[in-house]
């Protein structure tokens, strides 16, 4: 494949690591990146190392106001981590402040093959609305997101015609779970003619990455008993710290609303209600509190019932398991886009069919 010129929307915990991992993959050139305050564009290729150094421990992240409804820059957040005069992308020599970071990237999109959307998803239709704005600008290329919530997939499907008309290949839910593990489940299902159950159980140790992944942790908190997306969004940083203290740093989640379910159903693998996602997050240790496992139980053509299991090594980090696959799916998206396949694709659609 020829060189792929890509952009990252949202240089928070995930977006920064995507840029870093792309340095270790062939044929990927980062040409644009933005966060809530700033944008950096260089069609000859960004100096990724400089951008990462400038934003290290200095992420324009933060809680409730992370999504301006017009998709533009949100107001200065309470949770900005900052060690210089400027937060996030603006701290880089290549960055400049802007009120309209996403529109500034859209304005450059003629020369961009793929865009990785690593924006927060605390407002459900934010990412679908961002996709719509790329379509309104007649973008012809790939959009990839790493969103987690099941209900967002339908909102993307509702916009599929608009995306197709523009020539957009949208790969949704393409992180770890959903994403990597959804693809693994689709592969594990191939032994069976009927799938009864898919169990995804993940373990993440985030001590050294906690400060850089607060957006993700906040979204996960919404899955705890007694919390929802609204309450999680409105919690202050202090309230989040308190909740984490109450759990001694270890949060366990059961029956999460993770899009693995609808993504496996729309690929014809099994019913969404037969997919269960849960896991354990430890923000005080880098070691995974439990091994990440995907178990697919089904019946073979010759009547045996079995369970195929896929396990991640405990030494592979969340960042490796989100960003490696996200960039892999991005490349698969580009291959499809160049072949004229437009519309909305989930990770399981890019695996052997069922």
Ligand X SMILES: NC(=O)c1ccc[n+]([C@@H]2O[C@H](COP(=O)([O-])OP(=O)(O)OC[C@H]3O[C@@H](n4cnc5c(N)ncnc54)[C@H](O)[C@@H]3O)[C@@H](O)[C@H]2O)c1
By the rule CB under 6 A, 178 interacts with ligand X: yes
Distance in angstroms (rounded) separating the CA atoms of residues 136 and 251: 41
Nearest Cα residue to 122 out of 182, 64, 203? 64
What does the DSSP assignment read for 97-165?
A: E-S-HHHHHHTTGGG-SEEEE----SSTTHHHHHHHHHHHTT--SEEEE----HHHHHHHHTTHHHHHH
165 annotated active-site: no
Candidate list 4, 28, 35, 109; residue touching ligand X; CB under 6 A:
35
The distance of closest approach from Cβ of residue 193 to ligand X in the complex, given in angstroms and rounded to an integer, is 29
Least distance in angstroms from the C-beta of 302 to ligand X: 35
- 10 assigned ligand-binding residue: yes
Hey, is 256 helix, strand or coil?
coil
β-bridge partners, 185: none
Please tell me which residue in 148, 258, 288, 331 is annotated as part of the active site.
148
Q: Is 59 in the site for ligand X (CB under 6 A)?
A: yes
Is position 67 an interface residue for ligand X (rule: CB under 6 A)?
yes
Q: Is 226 annotated as a binding residue?
A: no
> Given 223, 258, 288, 331, which residue is catalytic?
223
Strand partners, 203: 280
Is 62 a known ligand-binding residue? no
Question: Is 265 in the active site?
Answer: no
| The 3-state secondary structure of 147-160, one letter per residue | CCCHHHHHHHHCCH
- What is the phi/psi pair of residue 37, to 5°? -110, -20
Distance in angstroms (rounded) separating the CA atoms of residues 297 and 191: 10
Select the span of 145-153, 182-190, 283-291, 299-307 touching ligand X (CB under 6 A): 145-153
- Answer whether 81's CB lies under 8 Å from 53's CB: no
Q: How far apart are CA 137 and CA 106, in angstroms?
A: 7
Q: Mark the segment that binds ligand X (CB under 6 A) among 153-161, 171-179, 229-237, 333-341.
A: 171-179
Q: Binding of ligand X at residue 319 (CB under 6 A)?
A: no
Looking at 34-42, 91-99, 228-236, 301-309, which segment touches ligand X (CB under 6 A)? 34-42
For 77-115, b where at least 16 C-beta lie within 10 A, e where not — what string? bebebeeeebbbbbbbebbeebebbbbbbbebbeebbbb
Catalytic-labelled residue, pool 81, 132, 219, 331: 219
- Given a contact cutoff of 8 angstroms between Cβ atoms, the answer to whether 171 and 347 are in contact is yes
Look up 219 and say whether it is catalytic.
yes
Torsion angle, alpha carbons of 93, 28, 351, 12, to 10: -10
Work out how close the CB of 189 gets to ligand X at its nearest, in angstroms, rounded to a whole number: 20
Binding to ligand X by residue 120, rule CB under 6 A? yes
> Which stretch, 9-17, 91-99, 248-256, 328-336, contacts ligand X (CB under 6 A)?
9-17
Q: Counting contacts by CB under 6 A, is residue 297 touching ligand X? A: no
203 is in an annotated binding site: no
Residue 34 or 229 having the CB closest to ligand X: 34
Interacting residue with ligand X among 8, 116, 146, 172 (CB under 6 A): 146
Site for ligand X contains 86 (CB under 6 A): no
Say if residues 287 and 205 touch (Cβ distance below 8 Å). Answer: yes
Q: Please report, in range form, the residues annotated as the binding site for NAD(+).
A: 10-14, 215-216
- Residues with a catalytic annotation lie at 148, 219, 223
Residues that bind ligand X (CB under 6 A): 10-15, 34-36, 59-61, 66-68, 71, 73-74, 88, 101-102, 118-121, 146-148, 175-179, 213-216, 219, 322
């Amino acid at each position: 494949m020829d060189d792929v010129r890509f952009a990252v929307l949202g240089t928070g915990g995930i977006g920064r690591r995507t840029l870093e991992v792309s340095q270790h993959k062939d044929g990927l050139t980062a040409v644009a990146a933005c966060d809530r305050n700033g944008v950096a564009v260089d069609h000859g290729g960004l100096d990724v190392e400089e951008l990462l150094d400038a934003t290290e421990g200095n992420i324009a992240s933060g809680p409730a106001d992370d999504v301006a409804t017009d998709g533009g820059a949100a107001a200065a957040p309470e949770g900005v981590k900052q060690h210089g005069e400027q937060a996030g992308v603006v701290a880089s020599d290549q960055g400049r402040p802007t009120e309209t970071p996403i529109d500034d990237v859209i304005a450059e999109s003629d020369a961009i093959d793929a865009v990785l959307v690593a924006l927060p998803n605390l407002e459900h239709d934010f990412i679908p609305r961002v996709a719509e704005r790329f379509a309104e600008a007649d973008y012809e290329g790939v959009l990839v997101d790493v969103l987690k919530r099941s209900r967002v997939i339908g909102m993307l499907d509702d916009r599929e015609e608009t995306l197709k008309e523009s020539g957009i290949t949208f790969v949704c839910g393409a992180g770890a779970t959903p994403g990597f593990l959804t693809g693994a489940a689709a592969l594990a299902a191939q032994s069976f003619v009927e799938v009864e159950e898919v169990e995804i159980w993940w373990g993440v140790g985030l001590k050294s990455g906690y400060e850089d992944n607060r957006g993700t942790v906040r979204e996960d908190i919404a899955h705890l008993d007694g919390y929802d997306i609204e309450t999680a969004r409105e919690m202050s940083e202090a309230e989040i710290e308190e909740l984490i203290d109450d759990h001694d740093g270890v949060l366990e989640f059961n029956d999460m609303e993770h899009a693995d379910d609808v993504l496996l159903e729309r690929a014809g693998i099994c019913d969404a209600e037969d997919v269960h996602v849960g896991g354990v997050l430890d923000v005080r240790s880098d070691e995974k509190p439990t091994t990440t496992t995907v178990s697919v139980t089904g019946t073979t053509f010759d009547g045996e019932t079995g369970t195929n299991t896929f396990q991640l090594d405990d030494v592979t980090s969340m960042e490796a398991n989100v960003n490696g696959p996200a960039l892999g799916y991005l490349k698969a998206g580009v291959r499809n886009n160049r072949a004229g396949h437009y519309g909305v694709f989930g990770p399981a659609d890019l695996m052997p069919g069922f």
